[in-house]
């Protein structure tokens, strides 16, 4: 699925610096995975 996201450039830069990931798609995907895992753990 494709989506257009408006994400603050500074937030993308910080996330990239923290993770070492430079590709924006990979950063967004990682954020979604982390969020879903956190919610899944809370439900258990």
Measured CA to CA, the distance from residue 18 to residue 36 in angstroms comes to 20
pLDDT in tens, 1-44: 899 999 999 999 999 999 999 999 999 999 999 999 988 887 87
- The answer to whether the Cα torsion of 23, 26, 20, 10 is positive or negative is positive
Q: What is the pLDDT of residue 28?
A: 96
Report how far residue 24's alpha carbon sits from residue 16's, in angstroms, rounded to the nearest whole number: 8
Task: Output DSSP code: residue 32.
Answer: H
């Amino acid at each position: 699925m494709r989506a257009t996201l408006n994400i603050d450039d500074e937030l993308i830069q910080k996330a990239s610096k923290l993770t070492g990931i430079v590709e924006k798609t990979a950063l967004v995907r990682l954020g979604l995975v982390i969020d879903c895992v956190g919610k899944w753990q809370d439900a258990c």
